[in-house]
Structure 1
Amino acid sequence: MFTQQLEPVAGSLALSALVAAVPLATVLALLGAVRMRAHHAGPVGLAAALAVAWPVFGMPPEQALSSAAQGALFGLFPILWIVVNALWVYRMTVRTRHFDVLRRSFSRLSADPRVQALVIAFCFGALLEALAGFGAPVAISAVMLVALGFDPVRAAVLALVANTAPVAFGAMGTPVVTLAQVTGLPLDSVADVVGRQTPLLALFVPLLLVFLVDGRRGLRETWVPALACGTAFAAAQFLASNYVSAQLADIGAALAGAAALMTVPGVRKPAVTPGDGPAAVPVADPVTGPAAVPVTGPGRDRAPTDVRDRAPDVRDSRRETVRAYAPYALIVAVFSLAQIPPVKDLLSRATRTVDWPFLNVVSPDGKPVGGNVFTLPLIATGGTLVLLAGALTAAVLGVNARTALREWAATVHELRHAIVTVTSVLALAYVMNLSGQAATIGHFVAAAGAGLAFLSPVLGWFGVAVSGSDTSANALFGALQVTAAEQTGLPPVLLAAANSSGGVLGKMISPQNLTIACAAVGLAGREGDLLRKVLLWSLGLLLVMCLIVVGQSTAVLGWMLP
């Protein structure tokens, strides 16, 4: 049995936390500063985590390796299981040219790339996050933007930034449900407070998106539809989370945002002249810098030009248009059906829980940690549901079984580097969590005293940066936030909610999500470039969330709490 230690370095919590942060700092430094490819940086970071776990934190080598294996398996299933099947559906639509039909349909909906970014990255991405999560929204949104003519780097940045708004209530409210379970707080109380924090971000994310697409001109010309979309999204997320159901918050928000956007006069018309659109401008972009990056992955036969230059007079039949939308409608339908209580209960019967071998870990207070067992939701998981939607898609699009299998195998081959990255990063996360490294960092932050309200979202941000999952960060640090709040006299539900709300801003810099985004748009190996482009936005929005939580802990914004 291994008992976690909080202060293994000279009996100092600060020094121990500094050493514990080495693995994650190593990965981020290799990606951002050294510009090492992610499938190389991930294993190096894992080696650093194992080196800290064994000699420093005293975790036996066999248990450290076992925890790494468990993390790698979790990376494969369910994380990569979702991503592979989501991109497989996309590849089939490309092969049958129905993605061309979908692209033309979106371009007719609005020829303005700034509006398209709001519709796809923000609204449709939020709907996918509500139903699936775990990287699928980033992957699907990014490839759809590339197919519409967006530069691959810009598409990946937009997908990552847009994915912040719905994460706390993603996957049918899984993060907040987990937070309530680990803290012992009522779900309604947790959802109420999270629903009074993340909507404040959602108000401004659409404005940020149009700025990322077209700079100041984008803000000047499309601030009205962006603000309308963000306001409707935020209002629906607040109302649903506080008065309806946390599980339905993102679905309602995504639909409300899209509806509000389409009712703004002028959004269906081109806002800029052909040839002068933001996707066609190769310089002076606020995010990506020089454009014209060649597409080498999904959609690689499409040059990144402005959508208005692509066969604007082509008219697709209603039947072909319906078939083009069918794969995504099927994904929504399958996930919605799987959430019906009787169906959900039936699917959960296939879930298996096993004792994980060579792993027996207890926390400093003697309680067994979650890594001692491993849960395999064989059917009731996003990847399997997407696989089912993919099989239905193949039937609808007329793809025979042999071709569908060939496309699935090609998808796995295309994601081979992403598979190495995600499995190694998740292995790193599990080693950090089970060896006590993450707990040491958490206790160090929780010891901030008066500054805890400000640092509470930072702890959630760190947890998601390591694991790539707001659910995992809530499971890891949720109870710790409550304990620290009780010791400092702050409202426990406020800091618990802040863990989740701050965590959503760590998704865009998580190596796992960076890899998924790069793999989706054919930029494998350029995760470091993408990290440098989103890091400042992640930190800037995190600062805003920290100030919101500080305000809610005082009389300044305390009136916002229920």
Structure 2
Amino acid sequence: MTWKMVIDPLNNIGLSALMAAVPILYMFWALAVKRMKGHIAGVTTVILAVLVAIFGYGMPAKLALLSTGYGMLYGLFPIAWIVVTAVYLYNITVKTGQFEIIKNSIASITDDRRLQALLIAFSFGAFLEGAAGFGTPVAISGAMLVGLGFNPLYAAGICLIANTAPVAFGGVGIPIIVAGQVTGIDAMAISQMVGRTLPFLSVMVPFYLIILMAGWKKMVEVWPAVLVSGASFAIAQWYSANYLSPMLPDIIASLVSIVALAAFLKVWKPPTTWRFADEAPSLGKEKLQYSAGQVLKAWAPFIILTIFITAWGLKPVKDALDYFGLVKFEIPGLHNMIIKGEKPMEAIFKLNYLSAAGTAILISAFVSIIMLGMPISEGIKTFFETLKTLRYPILTIASVLGFAYIANFSGMSITMGTALAATGKFFPFFAPFLGWLGVFITGSDTSANALFGKLQAVTADKIGVDPVVTVAANTSGGVTGKMISPQSIAVATAAVGLVGHEADLFRFTVKHSLIFATIIGVFVTLQAYVLTWMIPKYKMVEAAAAAAAQKVFPTLGATYLGYTVALVALVFILVLVMNRKKTA
């Protein structure tokens, strides 16, 4: 028997929204006030959410439990799968001694922690976000910073805050594309609107990071480098978002930023070298102690990772991999059993075990094991050690996604969104907070756009504001919620070895998240009513008719996969040849 979703169960949208917010308020309290461990806060939050759904919304207990289980399943795959494989790849480089070479190669560019944070957390992290998304950038860049000697809490916090700039265009632009599909607004128009908002934040974030790390005076010492890092990223992000494609801004902007900062540091250095207070003073920029072949070998796992996740982000490659490795099944008892509006909600789990980003990382790890000469038995042992270390973060991620799904399937998320949409002419200010809320709940800007995109468009139309402004605000505001999403917190603590300290990291980031969301809110309000010249001209896109399911061999994707394998083989051979010469 089906159940019809109720948006206003208390017949007062304000009271209903307050009831719906109880699990979120509880999670804030659990992490920020009681400092509970992440997995305890996550499990108790999802239990509370189920109780609110059953007793507050009248949702049948069976559907509430199935919705939660569906979300937990999604939390395990593909989210936790990415975290496990990313940390595993990092552990391989540590166990084989290659990370010591990476540390020296970075220190030979700069031994200043401020500038290392810009290179790795901001620029390299943005590249990983653009290519793979999900938790990849925080997991990889966070682990790298800790390996370099960063304080683990600062490493995790810096990576989460730095990840603000690229999230909107993450995973090869999928948040923007989904926003277009949900609203009928041309995805390029949404990309342009976001590209006229976020670059201002992208310039600010590097300055903010350094002030947070070292204080105002120490930021002033390196302001030229900070400006080069942020401005080069922002200009490339603005240009590619407005004139190229929503799929490219992160990848282009991050590469431009890395090259620009590395080149600048060849001709400029700060007057003093900054380290954390508990570190030994720097003895000056290190001399590169290894040959070009050794440095290439050490960085090769991450070069191979970059190649694979870039390829995996391309739709033809995804189609090719799904042709051979995709299992879909309906969740029995849940699929089409909840009526949202006039339509039943689907509950289909997709096990894309080949095209998942985590699989690309795992393949990179396997190639790295062979290339670095690590015994297979040691590689297997390291994998299970990694899995054991991450058992609590995996539980946290599963419970958080369980909460996200019960909030969506019960109507709690829509209740809170509808309440914010009732703010009338003030709605453009609150529109980014709706995206912020969506990303906090789901951990994903893509999911937040799927959840609230249509609501943003309809509300904007009612108050006489161009819908592209608020739909883009959902995306731009969503990026500020990423740093406090329990899912992101769990990934970050797992990567830097702070499992059990999720509350500390949440307290570290929550203030900055609200500051950034408020800045976006003010800017969106100006765009809606004052800076209307910033709004792009566009046409609505009619939804394409669903094509009949037809399994056709994806020739283009297979070709791209062939190029990917050839490119990885080239890196592999180059590493062998260069290091053979060194040995001789």
On whether the aligned pair clears a TM of 0.5, the verdict is yes
1:176 corresponds to: 176
Contact 2:109 2:285 in 1 (8 A): no
Confirm or deny that 1:319 pairs with 2:319.
no
SS of the residue corresponding to residue 246 of structure 1 reads: coil
Cα deviations across residues 392-433 of structure 1 (Å, max 9, x unaligned)? 111111112211111111111001110111101110110011
2:439 corresponds to: 464
Which of 377, 380, 401 lines up with 1:402 in the alignment? 377
Query: What pairs with 1:467-486 in structure 2 (closer than 5 Å)?
Result: 467-486=442-461
1:290 corresponds to: none
Deviation of 1:82 after TM superposition, in Å, equals 0.5
- In structure 2, what is the Cα distance between the partners aligned to 1:150 and 1:313? 20
Query: What pairs with 1:111-130 in structure 2 (closer than 5 Å)?
Result: 111-130=111-130
1:345 corresponds to: 319
**What amino acid does structure 2 have at the position aligned with 1:322?**
L
SS of the residue corresponding to residue 278 of structure 1 reads: coil
In the superposition, relative to structure 1, how do residues 330 and 265 fare at CA in structure 2: closer, same or farther (>3 Å)? closer
- In structure 2, what is the Cα distance between the partners aligned to 1:94 and 1:395? 15
Give the unaligned 5+ runs of structure 1: 283-304
Contact 2:275 2:282 in 1 (8 A): no
Cα deviations across residues 419-472 of structure 1 (Å, max 9, x unaligned)? 111101110110011000001001111111111100000000011011111111
Q: Give TM-score scaled by structure 2 length.
A: 0.89
Q: Give TM-score scaled by structure 1 length.
A: 0.92
Contact 2:222 2:270 in 1 (8 A): no
- In structure 1, what is the Cα distance between the partners aligned to 2:114 and 2:20? 42
- In structure 2, what is the Cα distance between the partners aligned to 1:83 and 1:110? 29
Contact 2:37 2:503 in 1 (8 A): yes
Query: What pairs with 1:77-92 in structure 2 (closer than 5 Å)?
Result: 77-92=77-92
In the superposition, relative to structure 1, how do residues 356 and 271 fare at CA in structure 2: closer, same or farther (>3 Å)? farther
Query: What pairs with 1:125-524 in structure 2 (closer than 5 Å)?
Result: 125-264=125-264, 269=269, 271-273=271-273, 277-279=274-276, 281-282=277-278, 305=279, 308=282, 312=286, 315-349=289-323, 350-359=325-334, 360-370=336-346, 372-524=347-499
**What amino acid does structure 1 have at the position aligned with 2:115?**
V
Cα deviations across residues 66-105 of structure 1 (Å, max 9, x unaligned)? 1111111111100010010000000000001101100110
1:6 corresponds to: 7
Q: How many residues align?
A: 533
Contact 2:132 2:310 in 1 (8 A): no
Deviation of 1:313 after TM superposition, in Å, equals 5.5
In the superposition, relative to structure 1, how do residues 34 and 310 fare at CA in structure 2: closer, same or farther (>3 Å)? farther
- In structure 2, what is the Cα distance between the partners aligned to 1:26 and 1:3? 27
In the superposition, relative to structure 1, how do residues 61 and 319 fare at CA in structure 2: closer, same or farther (>3 Å)? same
SS of the residue corresponding to residue 204 of structure 1 reads: helix
Cα deviations across residues 102-152 of structure 1 (Å, max 9, x unaligned)? 011001011111111000000000000011111110111111111111111
- In structure 1, what is the Cα distance between the partners aligned to 2:283 and 2:398? 40
Contact 2:111 2:286 in 1 (8 A): no
Contact 2:132 2:357 in 1 (8 A): yes
- In structure 1, what is the Cα distance between the partners aligned to 2:491 and 2:268? 31
Deviation of 1:268 after TM superposition, in Å, equals 6.0
Deviation of 1:278 after TM superposition, in Å, equals 3.0
SS of the residue corresponding to residue 470 of structure 2 reads: helix
- In structure 2, what is the Cα distance between the partners aligned to 1:427 and 1:464? 14
- In structure 1, what is the Cα distance between the partners aligned to 2:340 and 2:251? 40
In the superposition, relative to structure 1, how do residues 29 and 448 fare at CA in structure 2: closer, same or farther (>3 Å)? same
Give the unaligned 5+ runs of structure 2: 537-584
Deviation of 1:347 after TM superposition, in Å, equals 1.2
- In structure 1, what is the Cα distance between the partners aligned to 2:88 and 2:515? 35
Deviation of 1:266 after TM superposition, in Å, equals 6.3
1:292 corresponds to: none
**What amino acid does structure 2 have at the position aligned with 1:491?**
D
- In structure 1, what is the Cα distance between the partners aligned to 2:287 and 2:230? 32
Indicate the RMSD between aligned Cα atoms, in angstroms: 1.7
